[in-house]
A = this chain, B = another copy of it.
Amino acid sequence: MPITAYSGGTSLEGQFRSSPVGGICIDMGGMNKILEIHEEDSDLVCQPGAGWMDINDTLKEKGLQLFFPLDPAPSATIGGMLSNGCSGTNAVRYGTAKAEWFLNATVVLPSGEVIKTRRRARKSSAGFDTTKLFIGAEGTLGIVTEVTIRLAPLLPTTVAVVHFPDVRKAAAAVREILNRGVGIECVELVDNEFMRATNLVHAPAPPRYPELDSLFFKLQGPTPASLAETARIVKEVVSKPEYGGSGWKLAKNDEEAADIWMDRKNAHYAGLALLPGARGWATDVCVPISKLPDLVYETKKDIKDSGLTSHIVGHVGDGNFHALLLFRDDAELAVVRDVVHRMVERAIALDGTCTGEHGVGMGKKEYLYEELGEGTVELMKAIKRTIDPLNLFNPGKLYPEEKDSKHPRP
């Protein structure tokens, strides 16, 4: 009988929360305890249902200057984040779930055996790391029941926002800033439609932002002096004539910083304001960062030509962006599907991936043969068969059926 674990339930794997194919559904949400905090080692042991925001709140309440830096949806949980291979706005500074934030995992295999992938040392070269097998496997190889996560020092931050003539200039400015090595915790690209949505959310107040392609920065530094220096350098770079950044706004205090950042974090819900009554299809792709402007341009043109409403938000430091495509009925949904299909095909053609952080689920598995090649997909399937010969865990997800099933669409 098929078995699916879930906890946060915020996954957007291949668009839409992918529903299990019947069978047993195990809600891991109750297993949400923090079991051990090792302040001295900057790590923590918890159950899979523990939310990353709850963990960070607990650390703050205890007065510890530590946090867990992976930041997908606010209600996402450690088990789902590991299984999804998530990331978020902090990835430009801290990397993704596939880096070294998950030190080990205790996993129930389909055979019923319970394994612990590693001990608690920060690094090990004792063979390939079996933890990584479960990161991004979307629950198809095992059910995660306990995790040791690494924590990072919590540093002072501030927030800034600045506007650009177009996406290409914004992306070029980001490249120069990242190469300067200053303290950037996050840098988020948003398009004019995102700004329009945000202004709508705040209406009837006067518009908060010019409706232009823009960057939101979260700056980070150990001292006020270094934060001020970072802000000065970032402002200097974005203001160069070749980038044309305008309207630079640096938060005056922590409240203002939180307020501006909330506008960025509210992207999903603000987007829905663009078309009252519509539902949103959130999708993401990722490409080498130099290709991002082309991809955003072509995607925006496609969206416009297709008559859809959408906004775009990008983790621009990673070459990753999300489109929230709005639809009100089945006819519009069909158009959305086609736009997503072309967006994915474009990303793969640019040496990118069908999903930077949302996962494959049932909606994107058809692209894996094209993206990864037959040999790599067959290797993934061989590993799945080795670990789960009866195909018990999350059947139907992640692994494409057969090579010729790709490209069912025109």
Contact = CB atoms under 8 A, between A and B. Distances in A.
Interface in A156-188: 175, 178-182
A136 interface: yes
Given A38-B288, A121-B287, A226-B229, A376 B130 contact: yes
Interface in A111-127: 113-127
Contact of A382 (B178, B179, B223, B387): B387
A354 B288 contact: no
A356 interface: yes
Nearest to A398: B127
B179 A153 contact: yes
Would you call the interface of chain A mostly helix, strand, loop, or mixed? loop
A360 interface: yes
Given A123-B87, A123-B357, A358-B125, A113 B375 contact: yes
Interface in A370-384: 371-373, 375-376, 379-380, 382-383
A58 interface: no
Given A40-B175, A124-B286, A222-B233, A129 B375 contact: no
Contact of A368 (B91, B126, B226): B126
Nearest to A125: B85
Contact of A178 (B135, B153, B371): B153
Contacts of A133: 128, 132-133, 379
A43 interface: yes
Interface of A: 38, 40-43, 65-66, 84-87, 91, 95-100, 109, 113-130, 132-138, 141, 153, 155, 175, 178-182, 220-223, 225-226, 229, 233, 286-290, 318-320, 347-348, 351-360, 364, 367-368, 371-373, 375-376, 379-380, 382-383, 385-387, 398-399
- The 4 A-B pairs with the shortest beta carbon distances in the complex, nearest first, are A115-B375, A40-B290, A124-B353, A132-B132
